[in-house]
Amino acid sequence: MPNLERRAQPSTLMMFASPVIAAVCMLITGYLLFTLLGKAPLHAYWVFFIKPLTTAYGIGEWLLKATPLILCGLGLAIGFRASVFNIGAEGQLTMGAIAAGGVGLYFNGMDARWILPLMMLAGIAGGMVWAAIPAFLRTRFNTSEILVSLMLVYVAQLFLGFLVQGPWRDPDGFNFPQTKMFTEAEMLPLLMEGLRTNISFILALLLVAASWFYSHKMFAGFRMQVSGLAPAAARYAGFSEKRNVWLALLISGGMAGLAGMGEVAGPIGQLQPVISPGYGFAAIIVAYVGRLHPLGVLLASLLMSLLYLGGETAQMDLGLPSAVTGLFQGLLLFYLLAADIFINFRIKARKRPLEQIRTVAQVVPEEQS
């Protein structure tokens, strides 16, 4: 067992290297796994990571699946930076989809330009309302937002199930548990003919920039960062703890709600009992792999989206179970958390030359205790 010792300061290099190390370890483990399953590992990797991107349609699907991950991941990253741990983005996404879908169904058949923006606002509001519940309970009763937001995921999903099997079921839908299809005025415009990618991907890119601007240039973002890093310093500076919790949850809830709207008004085109393959949960991994930085979230979303796509092609071409996607996602987070220890610690060297250290020691004559 090697000895670890605390670094004098956190390592910036490890901060960026850690996601790469995690990705490499994930690939090595996957290699062993494919070998054990009797699949040729290199071919499996080609099927998993390269083949989906060999066609224009594949690339379109890649960006399409990355979009909800970017949206949820950006919001969660802002919250996590402020130490507000909303892990219920999946539920907020569902409620956003329900609210947007409700607006779409109410105005179904009308051909007006304002319906789509209204659906967007409804989606954001739906996510926010769902995130407001843990925010209220945390600021009023000091409950854990982690537990409350997680439990509300299942409430939201069951509520969606109730709606599509009951009051909102399509009367002409042969009793399938789904609503009417949305009309063209209620669907997000496509980026290119023949692809399913729509303008919500462009919107997500704009929000990457906005989110960077918020957390790095605006004082409000700085306040949230201080609240996350050192709550006592935030109190000392007079930054309100309540405002921090509310903002973090409303921002992440609103973004997740928008992602939900993008799904139902995009590739799905109606409300169904299940509208997300776990984007809200995968976004937690996205936020951390992306180092809680907007650009990192963008890259991590593309990686996670590729895992979803690769999982599908692997099911079709290799006959692997769909659980392989979740497995790779889990491995990635697992290795990331393990590699992160080297940001603050390093393996202790047996002997270090005294002279080399002395030059530093004279600059910082601090007692270690």
Partner 1 sequence: MNIPVTHPRLELRGITKIYPSVIANENVDLIVRPGEIHAVLGENGAGKSTLMKIIYGVTKPDAGEMLWENREVHIESPAAARRMGIGMVFQHFSLFETLTVAENISLALDSVIPPAELAQRISEVSIEYGLPVDPHRLVHSMSVGERQRVEIVRCLLNNPRLLIMDEPTSVLTPQAVLKLFETLRRLAAEGCSILYISHKLDEIQALCDSATILRSGRVTGTTSPKQETRESLAQMMIGRALPECQMEANTPGETRLLINHLNLATIDPFGTTLKDINLEVRSGEMVGIAGISGNGQKELLAALSGEQLAPQASAAQICGVAAGKLNPAQRRNLGLRFVPEERLGRGAVPTLSLALNALLTSSDSGMVNHGLISYPAVRSFARNVIDKFNVKCGGDKALAGSLSGGNLQKFIVGREIMLAPKVMIVAQPTWGVDVGAAQLIRQALIELRNQGVAVLVVSEELEELFMICDRIAVIADGRLSPAVPSAQTSVEQIGLWMSGEFNQDAVEVIHA
Q: Which residues bind partner 1 (CB under 8 A)?
A: 5-10, 217-220, 222, 225-226, 229-230, 232-233, 235-240, 346, 352, 354, 357-358, 360-369
8 versus 158: smaller Cβ distance to partner 1: 8
43 versus 235: smaller Cβ distance to partner 1: 235
175 versus 368: smaller Cβ distance to partner 1: 368
* Sign (positive or negative) of CA dihedral 268, 269, 274, 278: positive
C-alpha to C-alpha distance for 89 and 81, rounded to whole angstroms: 16
C-alpha to C-alpha distance for 230 and 224, rounded to whole angstroms: 10
113 versus 352: smaller Cβ distance to partner 1: 352
56-81 vs 279-289: helix axis angle to the nearest 10?
70
Structure tokens at 70: 């970017």
The minimum distance between CB 140 and partner 1, in angstroms, equals 16
Contact 215, 221 (CB under 8 A): yes
The minimum distance between CB 138 and partner 1, in angstroms, equals 18
The contacts of residue 53 (CB under 8 Å, 6+ apart) are 59, 62, 306
Structure tokens at 142: 């000091």
The minimum distance between CB 228 and partner 1, in angstroms, equals 10
C-alpha to C-alpha distance for 335 and 324, rounded to whole angstroms: 16
174 versus 219: smaller Cβ distance to partner 1: 219
The minimum distance between CB 14 and partner 1, in angstroms, equals 14
37 versus 218: smaller Cβ distance to partner 1: 218
List strand residue ranges (DSSP E) for 227-347, in order. 345-347
The minimum distance between CB 78 and partner 1, in angstroms, equals 16
200-217 vs 241-263: helix axis angle to the nearest 10?
170
The torsion of the CA quartet 343, 347, 353, 355, rounded to 10 degrees, works out to 20
The minimum distance between CB 36 and partner 1, in angstroms, equals 41
140 versus 352: smaller Cβ distance to partner 1: 352
Helix (H, G, I), strand (E, B) or coil at 4: strand
The minimum distance between CB 287 and partner 1, in angstroms, equals 18
Contact 128, 253 (CB under 8 A): yes
The minimum distance between CB 4 and partner 1, in angstroms, equals 11
Structure tokens at 43: 């071919």
5 versus 111: smaller Cβ distance to partner 1: 5
Contact 264, 271 (CB under 8 A): yes
